[in-house]
Amino acid sequence: MVDVAVIGGGMAGAAAAVAARRAGASVALVRVGIGATALASGAIDLADTLPPGGHPRPLADALRATLECRPAHPLGRIAGGDADGIVSAYRDAVEVVRAPLALTGDPAGCGALLTAAGTWHPGGVFVAGHGPGTEAALDGSRFHVVTLDLTPDFVPERITAALDTGLPRFGGRPAEPATCSLGETVRLGAPPRALPAVLARLFDDPAFAEGFAAHCAERVRRFRPTHVVFPPVLGLTRARENLALLEKALGARCFEALSPPPSVPGFRLQAALDAALAAAGVEVREGRARFAGAGLAVEGAAGAGELPARAVVLATGKFVGGGLARNGSVRETVYGLPVCADGEPLPDRTLERYLTRRPGERQPLLAAGVRVDAELRPLDRNGQVARPGLFAAGAVLDGVDFAADLGGLGLALLTGAQAGRTAAREARP
Amino acid sequence: MPDAFDVIVIGGGVNGTGIARDAALRGMRTLLLEKEDFGVGASGNSSGMIHGGLRYLLSDIHTTKKSCLDSGYIQRIAPHLLFRIPLLFPILAGGLRARIQVELVEAFLAAYDHFAPLKNGKPHCRLTAAQALTLEPGLRPDLAAVLTFDEWGIDPYRLCVANATAAREAGAEVRNHSEVVDLLRMGRAVVGVRTRERLTGRTEELQARRVVNAAGPWLPRVAGIAGAEVRIRPGKGVHLVVDRRISNVGVVAEAIDGRQIFILPYDNGALIGTTDDDYYGDPDDLTVTEDEVEYLLQGVEHLLPRIRRHRICATTAGLRPTLYAWGANEDALSRDHEVVDHEKKDGVPGLVTVAGGKLAAYRLMAEEAVDLLARALGFSRPCTTGSAPLPGAEEAFDPAAAAQATGLPAYTLARMHHRHGARAHAIVELIVAHPHWGRTVCETEPVTEAEVRYVVRKEWARTVADIARRTRLGLGPCQGSDCALRAAEILAAELHAGPAEARRFAADFLAERWKSQAAVLRGAQLAQAEIARAAHFGVVGLQGRNDSHRTH
């Protein structure tokens, strides 16, 4: 019998598994396929620290704003809903994965990351290799944007416009205008288009990467930039090495813009989480978890069999991850737990009134999930703990609409680490 | 004030654009005003078939004949717009009753065959269940027999734009995003219109000797401004868009209430339709309900049991401006058309309304309306709309040769030809002059950057939704996931707008797509919506997260 079984291998599940191991528990993790984490942009955010039109605000303020307008948000379960307590818990959670994910920055900070679409995304803590981040000294910076012929969606004009409008607000203090220059597009090859992941494999070849760095150096040096922005394709396994190579060759800080899902940085993040699981000694079983009265079992060719466990963390994700599914009604797919939208049980059918007109606004149907108590234990229809020894974390929780409110991977990390620790305590009192 | 027009046409659907073309070709000084974009009303949301009107064979035979006759004309003037849809009419096994039904339906189709030559249709045939299953393995096997017939499909938006282009080339002035907010009166007579440009807010007064109300679902509203009464029974019709082409043949099925519904191959997907329900709400705010979706899926499932496995990626909804009659079920209402001279009917000179009708017979209704105008205004040139080619049909276009010239796949050029006919030459020239405009903007069709620029420059496209209607960009399984922002930036470049406006253009288009998905968010489509929203709004912040005010 294993102390803690974790269902789901994304950020929430991996954080739970590693946190439980650190607390001394034996851990088995069951996963099938990939979910939202692998398909994500790679950005790790907990709340919107870049409110529209204004200046960046500290995480505690952003959390207070979230809790005020989203009373059913699971953040309310952490540290009794106290913003400073949540920040503290978030710092602890970030430590669980900081090294394996190569995270940099301050979890409570309010830095900003450039996206390939020419917008800014909150980035307090982030995977090293994105930027510009929480750097204060952006005064007088000279930015240069490198474009590749095989990434036509990485449009330099978008990036320069974003730098023009964004840097004064996010640069920490009023900045001299940073200049942005564009070299001619670096031509990589014959096919007219390449998927980013395919392109990234090219960059995993050290010889190719070195040639690319030399080529860039020739073209970029004369602009004497302080920062150089690249499309997020600089390798699946060797991205950090390649960025170091480029920084040396160009004599400037180099970073990749964030791209919308699915993205190469997302794949890398998932790979880093997988490595963290292996390093922590978590037993990983490939297959679908099934709960059948008596206990957990795993279906699937590789990892089939029973999985007796003293405590379970459900980190199966929302609709992308498959933790929730809707045919007529919305079901939680492993335990059949009741599904709520903002604390209210969802009816069986006709869920049109759980949607609003503009997709960028909050959509209660897409925030739906499992309701939990202060220890992240799922609740039944009467508000009682549904099953002893069961915990839930990540997107499967009720009350989170990432698209409208942010709080994707950051929330998965926070609730995952919390649930993993509590589950370990429960399994080994 | 500028000189008066001979005719102002209100409404840019298939009737309004058809009338504007006919009037302009006969020498009338014509203005066409469409409040949003061509075809957004009944025309664009129709089933997209130049329908022979099989259904009306018994109840409304002259509608069938008119439709088939006019189908033939449409084929002559715009063959590139049409595509053949072979249809299966399965009869479920069930002893003697089923065998009798097979004979009855076959007799019906044999009668329909008489009209086939008018529209170049193929005669029906009878298939065994086994034969039908080779054509469509998804059918349930317990069939008595399957009968076949065929219809022509057409892209209704392209048809409207083709007519509007023809009108402009014949000297008409054509405006979209231009709403008629009032009618100008002299005594009881209608002498012109007041318009408001929706994208700029600018208003203008324009005089005309005759005003034609071709506003479809908005007919009563426009006529009401003049104190004239037009009664229609707006019939709401809903379709489901399947994410892939699951068959190369259509299937006629029966819904739970006995109505005939269908699933058709359409573009790179499939179309399931349709409903017909009296509608009392706002024609500007049609939404599809989950009930309507369930009704259609349940009916199709009866013959194609695995239909629910497929992803429905969008819906469409439109209102038929059906002629009014009390006491009849929606399905049983006449599909005939009517040209109403309000001078005779209501004592309101200067106003003419066109109501009812079928997509297939639009040209005939336009001819009748313009005959009336010609008599009243003293124009004697004959009608040529049945023989003069629509833009794109004047000459040939060889997709293979164009593929050579541009280095693009022949399939891309063939689809371009389907939409534009020989006018695709102009798009090819753009690609030859600017090779990077050959890049694909939307993978689903595929749609090139050159085509996007062409429709902005030449076909009145001012929003991403306008571009989508003209090119099918973002209307298939992608629902704009990658192409919305790409197209928005091209539009912004053509309109000399900046990146923040490009993001707003993209956000507006995604909002329209969202509306069309609301009733079908389940299964794989719900997961797709989660990812798409995460991309556009979570990561990129298209709703205006970085801008000084949110657009959402």
CA–CA gap between residue B502 and residue B500 (Å, rounded): 5
Are the beta carbons of B514 and A358 separated by less than 8 Å? Answer: yes
Instruction: Dig out the tokens for B280 from the structure.
Output: 């009392």
For residues B182-200, give the mean pLDDT.
Answer: 96
| Residues in chain B closer than 8 A to A331 (CB atoms) | none
B283: left (phi over 0), alpha (psi -120 to 50) or beta: alpha
Are B522 and A153 inside 8 Å of each other by CB? no
Report chain B residues whose CB lies below 8 A from the CB of A117: 485, 503, 539-540, 542
Q: Which residue of B has its CA nearest to A152?
A: B439
B536 to A365: CB separation less than 8 angstroms, yes or no: no
Option in A43, A166, A319 nearest B526 (CB): A319
- Which long-range CB contacts under 8 A does B193-196 form with residues at least 24 apart? B193/B8, B193/B10, B193/B33, B195/B33
- Tell me which of B537, B547, B549 to substitute to probe the interface with A (most A C-beta atoms closer than 10 Å): B537
What does the pLDDT read at residue A177?
A: 41
Flag whether the ipTM exceeds 0.90: yes
Closest CA to A147 of A99, A181, A100, A183: A183
A219 pLDDT tier (thresholds 50, 70, 90): confident
* Other C-beta atoms lying within 10 Å of the C-beta of residue B429: 14
**Cβ neighbours of A365 in B, within 8 Å:** 521
- Residues on chain A touching B515 (C-beta within 8 angstroms): 357
Strands A390-392 and B49-50: unpaired
Q: For every residue of B100-123, which 3-state class applies, written as one string?
A: HHHHHHHHHHHHHHCCHHHHCCCC
Site of tokens 């302080």:
A226
Nearest-CB residue to B550 (from A52, A118, A327): A52
8 Å CB contact of B499 and A43: no
* For residue A169, pLDDT beyond 70: no
Backbone dihedral angles phi then psi of residue A97, each to the nearest 5 degrees? -120, 5
Residue with more model confidence, A391 or A166: A391
Question: How does pLDDT run across A230-273, given as a tens digit for each residue?
Answer: 999 999 999 999 999 999 999 999 999 999 988 999 999 999 99
φ/ψ (deg, to 5) at B238: -120, 145
* Beta-carbon separation of A261 and B498 below 8 A: no
d(CA B229, CA B552): 39
All residues of chain A having their beta carbon less than 8 Å from the beta carbon of residue B538 are 402-404, 406, 408
Q: Which residue of A has its CA nearest to B515?
A: A357
Range of weakest confidence among A137-151, B16-30, B485-499, B501-515: A137-151
Is the pLDDT assigned to residue B543 strictly greater than 60?
yes
> In the predicted model, what is the mean pLDDT of residues B61-65?
75
The pLDDT score that the predictor gives to residue A174 is 33
- CA atoms of B318 and B132, how far apart (whole Å): 32
Q: What percentage of chain B exceeds 70 in pLDDT?
A: 97
In chain B, which residues have their Cβ closer than 8 Å to the Cβ of A118? 499, 503
Asked whether the predicted pLDDT for residue A168 surpasses 70, the reply is: no
CB contact under 8 A, B531 and A408: no
User: Is B290 in contact with A120 (Cβ distance < 8 A)?
Assistant: no
Least Cα distance to A206 among A237, A227, A230 occurs for: A237
Q: Give CA B178 to chain center in angstroms.
A: 19
Higher-confidence residue of A133 and B157: namely B157
- In the DSSP assignment, the letter for residue B454 is H
Encode burial over A180-214: b for 16+ CB neighbours within 10 A, e otherwise.
bbebebbebeeeeebebeebbbbbbeeebbeebbe
B530, A320: Cβ pair inside 8 Å?
yes
Beta-carbon separation of A326 and B523 below 8 A: yes
pTM (predicted TM-score): 0.94
CA-based nearest distance B550→chain A, Å: 7
Query: What is the pLDDT at residue A187?
Result: 65
A326 backbone dihedrals φ, ψ, rounded to 5°: -130, 125
- With 90 as the cut, is the pLDDT of residue B438 above it? yes
- What is the C-alpha to C-alpha distance for residues A36 and B533, in angstroms, rounded to an integer? 12
Residue among B350, B480, B335, B390 at smallest CA distance from B169: B390
User: How many separate helices (H) and strands (E) can be counted in chain A?
Assistant: 11, 22
Chain-centroid distance of CA B314 in Å reads 15
Q: Please give the interface size between A and B, counted as residue pairs whose CB atoms are below 8 Å apart.
A: 148
Whole-number pLDDT of residue B53: 66
| Band of pLDDT at residue B274, cut at 50, 70 and 90 | very high
> Of A33-37, A178-182, B61-65, B325-329, which gets the smallest average pLDDT?
A178-182
A318: nearest CA partner in chain B: B527
Which one of A52, A157, A366 has the shortest CB-CB distance to B530? A366
Percent composition of chain B: helix, strand, coil (DSSP 3-state, to 5): 45, 25, 35
Instruction: Find the range with the poorest average confidence among A96-110, B61-75, B150-164, B356-370.
Output: B61-75
Amino acid, res. A108: A
Residues of B in contact with A41 (CB under 8 A): 535, 539
Measured in angstroms, the CA of A36 and the nearest CA of chain B are apart by 8
Mean pLDDT of A310-327: 96
Q: Do A326 and B440 make contact, defined as CB atoms within 8 angstroms?
A: no
Residue B131 has pLDDT above 90, yes or no: yes
Residue A409 has a pLDDT of 96
* Cα(B292)–Cα(B297) distance, integer angstroms: 9
